């Protein structure tokens, strides 16, 4: 039996809108993510998908309830331990890329892995960028790249850093259909090597290729779908 790498129990998240006024975004959510799973989180806009992703990835503490990653509560750690954990153990592909404008595309690709002590060879970078069909000149400013090319750099950067758990927030929003399927193929290959992936997506075609789907509605888990298909993901 695979061990749980993420365990969430009775998670609730409220956001302060104004003084003495709270918005309940997530309400009493519980589920586990096993090692080597590819989980997708889907649901209509405003259902709490990104908030849930942030809560279970150590970026946003819940209002109540518990989140454990590898059996530990990241929200109980000091800032130094939390920063080290985020750098070494998890990868995050943000919807808005979070690339460093002052660096070239190549330096953006290799920086996180280099900080983790990985010796990333140019040939390794070349192989990955070829698989991603990243056609941009890597030694130019990141700002010179299109949105789709920047998204591929963000994906490649996380893969090269080699984290055990990868969180993705709409990772293919700037990509065409061919590139989306290409990225999914690469992510599925990572799962076969033991990586754990949790992905928020509005694209039900992509979600149907995950191993399990969490369907949210109005801050609640509407259903959990094993081996999801387009038909079973309708919300």
Number of Cβ within 10 Å of residue 131's Cβ equals 16
Domains of the chain: 1-89+163-228 (3.40.50.300), 97-161 (no CATH)
Beta carbons of 202 and 210 less than 8 angstroms apart? no
pLDDT at 78 (0 to 100): 95
Beta carbons of 39 and 214 less than 8 angstroms apart? yes
Burial of 80 (0-12, 13-18, 19+ CB in 10 A): exposed
Beta carbons of 169 and 137 less than 8 angstroms apart? no
pLDDT in tens, 94-149: 888 899 998 999 999 999 899 888 889 999 999 999 999 998 889 999 999 999 99
Sign, CA dihedral 145-143-93-231, equals negative
Edge-first strand order for the sheet with 38-42 is 90-93, 165-169, 196-200, 38-42, 212-217, 220-226
| pLDDT higher than threshold 90 for residue 17 | no
At how many degrees (to 10) do helices 147-161 and 105-115 cross? 20
Sign, CA dihedral 39-54-111-175, equals positive
**Mean pLDDT, residues 70-93:** 93
Residue 4 and residue 101: Cα distance in Å, rounded? 37
**Mean pLDDT, residues 6-24:** 91
**1 confidence band (pLDDT: 50, 70, 90):** very low
Residue 49 and residue 105: Cα distance in Å, rounded? 29
Beta carbons of 89 and 124 less than 8 angstroms apart? no
| pLDDT higher than threshold 80 for residue 18 | no
Beta carbons of 171 and 151 less than 8 angstroms apart? yes
Which helix (H) or strand (E) segment is 130 a member of?
helix 122-131
**2 confidence band (pLDDT: 50, 70, 90):** low
Edge-first strand order for the sheet with 21-34 is 21-34, 4-18, 64-69
């Amino acid at each position: 039996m695979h061990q749980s790498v993420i365990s969430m129990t009775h998670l609730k998240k409220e956001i302060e809108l104004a003084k003495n006024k709270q918005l309940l975004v997530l309400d009493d959510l519980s589920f586990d993510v096993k090692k080597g799973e590819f989980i997708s989180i889907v649901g209509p806009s405003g259902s709490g998908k990104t908030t849930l992703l942030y809560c279970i990835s150590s970026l946003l503490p819940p209002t109540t309830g518990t989140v454990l990653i590898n059996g530990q509560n990241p929200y109980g750690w000091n800032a130094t331990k939390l920063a080290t954990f985020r750098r070494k153990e998890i990868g995050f592909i943000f919807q808005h890329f979070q690339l460093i404008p002052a660096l070239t595309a190549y330096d953006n690709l290799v920086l996180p892995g280099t900080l983790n002590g990985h010796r990333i060879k140019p040939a390794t970078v070349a192989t990955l960028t070829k698989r991603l069909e990243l056609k941009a000149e890597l030694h130019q400013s990141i700002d010179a790249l299109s949105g789709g090319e920047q998204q591929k750099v963000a994906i490649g950067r996380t893969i090269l850093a080699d984290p055990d758990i990868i969180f993705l927030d709409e990772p293919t929003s700037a990509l065409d259909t061919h590139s989306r399927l290409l990225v999914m193929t690469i992510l599925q290959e990572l799962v076969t090597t033991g990586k754990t992936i949790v992905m928020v997506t509005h694209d039900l075609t992509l979600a149907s290729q995950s191993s399990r789907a969490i369907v949210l509605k109005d801050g609640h888990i509407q259903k959990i779908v094993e081996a999801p298909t387009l038909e079973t993901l309708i919300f």
